[in-house]
Chains A and B, each alone.
Chain A
Amino acid sequence: MKILIKNGRVIDPSQNLDAVADLLIEDGKIAQIESAIRNPQSATEFDAAGLIVAPGFVDIHVHGRTPGQEYKEDTATLTAAAAAGGFTTLCVMPNTVPTLDNRSVVEDVLSRAKSEGNGVRIYPIASVSLAAKNEQLSEFADLKNAGAIAVSDDAFPLQDADFMRRVFQYARTVGLVTMLHCEDTALTGGGHAGVGRGGGVMNEGVVSTELGLRGMPRVSEEIAVYKACALAREVGNRVHILHVSTRGAVAVIRSFKAQGVPVTAEAGPHHFGLTDEAVRGYNTNAKMNPPLRTREDCDAIIQGLVDGTIDCIATDHAPHAAHEKEREFDGAPFGIIGLETSLPVSLQTLVEKGPLDVTQLVEKMTTAPAQLLALDAGTLKVGKRADVTAFSPDENWILEEETIRSKSKNSPWLRQTMKGRVKATFAGGKQIY
């Protein structure tokens, strides 16, 4: 089985490659990248003239919802959505039902990826604690042996500094990165979501004041990031800060990186592409945690991506069913889908209107996240698995509910014009989109 991708602009940050060339896939692996490869007859040709050919995108922050919440997303729809967005590698968060806190759930996720997926690779991230209660450590070593790629507290942010320190120490012992959702829930009213329950539901600021919604102050993230970084400095473990959303958090991460603390960070397209103005009209598709912030926060995140404070882009893809979002703002769940809009939103915000060039963007979506979790992905080097994405950097299209591959349609960009479109995705040498 051979595929010849012809005449594309091949960008591979892992080997500093940016040139118009042909790419030959053989037996599921990258066989050759040269200009004007002669078609060895048996190869299927894909004309990539005018397109960018890049390593398949890597998203290290996805809520797969399997097992337990397949009504929001199942493995087939998840991997279909990934393919449509150009992604070939996903790391899935542990807030499943039951919690991804033991070997059997890891094995279930992996076996379903094989049997129900389309070839997109799925790596499970395990919960730092049993049942995500942040009381008792989960079995990091057994989880790692079963295939977990990291541990995380996402959706249930660690508050107790002593328990956080134990998590760091034990994760360092086992050799796993700890991926943290940084939120001081005392300031946000976290854990009190629901109609009339009183927890924060959006950024605290002008818009929340006008809408009469309880705010989540930006300082709640900055304080939590500082706490995590200070503990990581002491313990010396690898900490990854999930979904950075505030200017203050960017500054804290920058200062700890400058001290040589082994901390990395990601940002989501919504956090640099939208502000809390999107919540007006009580749009529950603009409700996520951390919430949409302000212009100055977006600008600081973009600056962080430019100077390397923020290592990569991750979507925090969080599908929710229509009936869950079609309700009172305070009662609707946090989270938006992001796999199918990550490329166009990033292209528009960071490249067209921002300071990044397309090579840097590709790096933030491929090589950088792969390196961060030591994944064998995000490269077009000869001999590697042929995960390849071909996209048009300037094709316009409109995001419509009907064409979204994800089972859930909770996107803040519905019916908006997107610029930049994935034209083909190959996973392990097989065209899956």
Chain B
Amino acid sequence: MKRKHLLGLADVSATEITQILDTAEAMREVLSRPIKKTPALRGKSVCTLFFEPSTRTRASFEMAAKTLSADTSSLTVATSSVSKGETLKDTLLTMAAMGAGCFVIRHPSSGACELAASFSQKFGYDFHIVNAGDGCHEHPTQGLLDLLTIRQHKGEIAGLKVTMIGDLLHSRVARSNVHGLLKMGADLTLCGPQTLLPPEFGLLDLKMTHDCDEAIEGADVVMTLRLQNERMNGVFLPSVREFAALYGINARRLKRAKSDAILMHPGPINRGVEISDDVADGGQSVILNQVTNGVAVRMAVLYGLLGGEEN
């Protein structure tokens, strides 16, 4: 990888995505070994800065870094000086002064990673930024791991009918996936109530519908998105119950998709809301494959950014 940071998939080309996915497949092989360790990033320091709660993404990045033998440190907002009012700039520079060469950042503000990247080299410290989810903007490693999962099960991504359902307005996973899937040539349909599906998405090369059954018809891939309850500061839905009735994926609805269709969810799942229990644990669900692929993709990204650099 020739890039310094991974801030989103908006500016990553199809060729570059393919390279990352190829590397990730090699990393998946490393993860299947009895001793899961390579020295690729020995002596590198990766710091996770999480300004929002997360379990899987943070654990996934830390496992990825450790598998590559990087040193890891982590800062959580509730216990750090950020709760005393320290700015993102000062937090970053402080950790950089301690030697961190790469920051994995999750932040409630869209664009926080672009801001963080703008500080690299500006104040005497040089560091990489990996976006682990910024506000409602992007979550590029989630997008990449979803692409990897689709490729693993379906081979070629181009031409596949992919349907994304749920809260597209607030979803950073959706934005990264829209960029990634369109670049890889998927035939994309977005589905949700208009309160959660901004009409502006319609300017892209994709289809939009408010009818879930229609959206799923003949799909190769059904991706559901988590209802972002913590972002619901307005009245977007009458009730979770009605959302589940209109947009929840159950066995009956999934039958409309191709018989070999896969079902995906970025987690954490609101069981019985976006997905019913039977399909979440059923044969078409690849949700746990997504998790495993997450570690492989993050290894590929960290290796791509930090590997080959002089210590």
Instruction: Indicate whether A195 sits within 8 Å of B89 (C-beta atoms), given known contacts A210-B10, A212-B175.
Output: no
Instruction: Indicate whether A211 sits within 8 Å of B233 (C-beta atoms), given known contacts A205-B200, A327-B89, A330-B135.
Output: no
Instruction: Indicate whether A198 sits within 8 Å of B231 (C-beta atoms), given known contacts A206-B200, A212-B175.
Output: yes
Whether B10 lies near A327 (C-beta < 8 A) is: no
Residues of chain A with a CB closer than 8 A to B88's CB: 327-328
Instruction: Indicate whether A209 sits within 8 Å of B198 (C-beta atoms), given known contacts A282-B114, A330-B109, A331-B109.
Output: yes
Residues of chain B with a CB closer than 8 A to A282's CB: 110-111, 114-115
Q: Cβ of A196 < 8 Å from any Cβ of B?
A: yes
In Å, the complex CA distance between A209 and B234 comes to: 17
Taking CB atoms and an 8 Å cut-off, the chain B residues in 57-116 that contact chain A are 87-89, 107-112, 114-115
Residues of chain B with a CB closer than 8 A to A212's CB: 110-111, 134-138, 172, 175
Whether B114 lies near A195 (C-beta < 8 A) is: no
Residues of chain A with a CB closer than 8 A to B112's CB: 328
Whether A330 lies near B201 (C-beta < 8 A) is: no
In Å, the complex CA distance between A205 and B198 comes to: 9
Size of interface on A: residues with Cβ below 8 Å to B: 23
In Å, the complex CA distance between A128 and B133 comes to: 43
Minimum Cβ distance to chain B for residue A166 (Å): 30
Across the interface, A328 reaches (CB within 8 A) one of B109, B200, B203, B234, namely B109
Q: Cβ of A40 < 8 Å from any Cβ of B?
A: no
In Å, the complex CA distance between A328 and B107 comes to: 10
Q: Cβ of A390 < 8 Å from any Cβ of B?
A: no
A195, A212, A281, A326 — most chain B CB neighbours (10 Å): A212
Contact with B along A215-251 (1 / 0, CB 8 A): 0000000000000000000000000000000000000
B107, B112, B175, B234 — most chain A CB neighbours (10 Å): B112
Look across to chain A and name the residue whose beta carbon is closest to the beta carbon of B112. A328
Look across to chain A and name the residue whose beta carbon is closest to the beta carbon of B233. A198
Residues of chain A with a CB closer than 8 A to B111's CB: 211-213, 282, 328-329
Look across to chain B and name the residue whose beta carbon is closest to the beta carbon of A199. B233
In Å, the complex CA distance between A71 and B182 comes to: 48
Minimum Cβ distance to chain B for residue A417 (Å): 23
Size of interface on B: residues with Cβ below 8 Å to A: 26
Minimum Cβ distance to chain B for residue A226 (Å): 23
Q: Cβ of A189 < 8 Å from any Cβ of B?
A: yes
Query: What is the count of residue pairs linking A and B with beta-carbon distances less than 8 angstroms?
Result: 64
Across the interface, B110 reaches (CB within 8 A) one of A206, A323, A330, namely A330
Residues of chain B with a CB closer than 8 A to A330's CB: 109-110, 135
Minimum Cβ distance to chain B for residue A241 (Å): 27
In Å, the complex CA distance between A212 and B109 comes to: 9
Look across to chain B and name the residue whose beta carbon is closest to the beta carbon of A201. B110
In Å, the complex CA distance between A323 and B203 comes to: 36
Residues of chain A with a CB closer than 8 A to B198's CB: 209
Look across to chain A and name the residue whose beta carbon is closest to the beta carbon of B116. A328
A195, A328, A329 — most chain B CB neighbours (10 Å): A328
Minimum Cβ distance to chain A for residue B77 (Å): 11
Contact with A along B255-292 (1 / 0, CB 8 A): 00000000000000000000000000000000000000
Residues of chain A with a CB closer than 8 A to B108's CB: 195-196
Minimum Cβ distance to chain A for residue B251 (Å): 33
In Å, the complex CA distance between A107 and B111 comes to: 43
In Å, the complex CA distance between A328 and B51 comes to: 12
Minimum Cβ distance to chain B for residue A285 (Å): 13
Instruction: Indicate whether A329 sits within 8 Å of B175 (C-beta atoms), given known contacts A212-B138, A282-B115.
Output: no
Residues of chain B with a CB closer than 8 A to A195's CB: 108-109
Look across to chain A and name the residue whose beta carbon is closest to the beta carbon of B201. A209
Instruction: Indicate whether A211 sits within 8 Å of B200 (C-beta atoms), given known contacts A327-B87, A328-B88.
Output: no
Instruction: Indicate whether A196 sits within 8 Å of B89 (C-beta atoms), given known contacts A211-B137, A212-B135.
Output: no
Contact with B along A264-302 (1 / 0, CB 8 A): 000000000000000001100000000000000000000
Taking CB atoms and an 8 Å cut-off, the chain A residues in 286-328 that contact chain B are 323, 326-328
Instruction: Indicate whether A328 sits within 8 Å of B115 (C-beta atoms), given known contacts A189-B233, A198-B231, A282-B110.
Output: yes
B109, B114, B233 — most chain A CB neighbours (10 Å): B109
Residues of chain A with a CB closer than 8 A to B134's CB: 212
Residues of chain B with a CB closer than 8 A to A213's CB: 110-111, 135-137
Residues of chain B with a CB closer than 8 A to A323's CB: 87
Residues of chain B with a CB closer than 8 A to A198's CB: 231, 233
Residues of chain B with a CB closer than 8 A to A326's CB: 89, 115
Minimum Cβ distance to chain B for residue A329 (Å): 5
Minimum Cβ distance to chain A for residue B188 (Å): 15
Look across to chain B and name the residue whose beta carbon is closest to the beta carbon of A330. B109
Across the interface, A281 reaches (CB within 8 A) one of B87, B114, B201, B234, namely B114
Residues of chain B with a CB closer than 8 A to A189's CB: 233-234
Residues of chain A with a CB closer than 8 A to B172's CB: 212
In Å, the complex CA distance between A189 and B235 comes to: 12
In Å, the complex CA distance between A196 and B142 comes to: 21
Contact with A along B117-142 (1 / 0, CB 8 A): 00000000000000000111110000
Residues of chain B with a CB closer than 8 A to A210's CB: 10, 175, 200
Whether A206 lies near B109 (C-beta < 8 A) is: no
Residues of chain B with a CB closer than 8 A to A331's CB: 109
13 contacts between A and B (CB under 8 A): A195-B109, A196-B135, A205-B200, A208-B200, A211-B110, A212-B172, A213-B137, A327-B89, A327-B115, A328-B112, A328-B115, A329-B111, A330-B110
Known pairs A328-B107, A328-B111, A328-B112; list 16 more (Cβ under 8 Å).
Answer: A189-B233, A195-B108, A196-B109, A210-B10, A210-B200, A211-B110, A211-B111, A212-B111, A212-B138, A212-B175, A213-B110, A213-B136, A326-B115, A327-B88, A327-B89, A328-B109
Closest 6 pairs between A and B when the two form their complex, measured CB to CB: A282-B111, A212-B136, A212-B137, A196-B108, A328-B109, A209-B200
Which B residues form the contact surface with A (CB < 8 A)? 10, 87-89, 107-112, 114-115, 134-138, 172, 175, 198, 200-201, 203, 231, 233-234
Which A residues form the contact surface with B (CB < 8 A)? 189, 192, 195-196, 198, 205-206, 208-214, 281-282, 323, 326-331
